[in-house]
Structure 1
Amino acid sequence: MNRPVFLNLMQIRMPVGAVTSIAHRVSGVLLALGVPFSAYIFDLSLQGPRSFERAQELLAGSMLKAAAIVFVWALAHHLLAGVRHLLSDIGVGSRLPFARRSAWVVNGTGVFIALLAAWALL
């Protein structure tokens, strides 16, 4: 009799390429959710001086600053991982050692850009 297996997700070690691929999908969802709000803030800021001040007030909140930092990470990671995927589709960097290295570079650079955004916003 086959018994169900307890699947402990904390014990699964995924390769860095898998983490990068999953983060690419997550960043795409975050971008899809964040673009309408970004467009609203941009439109509000262009309506006149008072509307611009209102947009600045909205963006001054700590929750929106944190959301902006996450949005910057999502944008950076999605762009870098997308370029990595496109290059691998045409055979550039498809060998395993280079693919692992490029995945680490994508992950690290995305976090670095988010930290730069946090430093600039805070």
Structure 2
Amino acid sequence: MRAPPESAPKFLNLSQIRFPIGAIASIGHRISGVLLLITLPFLALALDRSLRGEAEFEALRDLVSAPGRALLLIVVVWAASHHVLAGLRHLLMDLGVGSRLDQARTSAWAALVAAAVIALAVAARWLS
């Protein structure tokens, strides 16, 4: 019986893997899509309720103004903005726009940063 070569990995330590920025943006795109899928029924109900009248809109606003719920709303805003921006990035790269490595890295950073800025801007506006 032969022993495995010394270079063979013995275990996979996920905390030591350094993902490239493009992979992080792509994984974020998938995570944001799942979050949007999960929250879509609740968002549709919230939209329906908010359009029933001013009193219903104010009641809904009071409901989501609690700190924990406001944080959830900000996460949903991040998910929507990141999913749109990363999706546009993927579509443009499929068309050959920005598919060079340096451009792909820049667009990945841009999508990640822009989504975070949008979420923080909504948080500042919502919580003020």
TM-score (normalised: structure 2): 0.87
User: Larger radius of gyration, structure 1 or 2?
Assistant: 2
1:75 lines up with 2:70 in the alignment: no
1:98 lines up with 2:103 in the alignment: yes
Cα distance in 1, alignment partners of residues 89 and 79 from structure 2: 15
Counterpart code for 1:43: D
TM-score (normalised: structure 1): 0.91
1:61 lines up with 2:66 in the alignment: yes
Q: Counterparts in 2 of 1:1-122, with a 5 A limit?
A: 1-2=3-4, 5-122=10-127
Instruction: Kindly report the root-mean-square deviation, in angstroms, between the aligned alpha carbons of the 2 structures.
Output: 1.6
Q: Percent identity?
A: 50
| Runs of 4+ with deviation above 6 angstroms | none
Give structure 2 stretches of 5+ with no counterpart.
none
Counterpart code for 2:113: G
Give structure 1 stretches of 5+ with no counterpart.
none
Counterpart code for 2:19: M
Number of residues of Structure 1 aligned to a counterpart in Structure 2: 122
Cα distance in 2, alignment partners of residues 89 and 7 from structure 1: 32
Counterpart code for 1:51: E
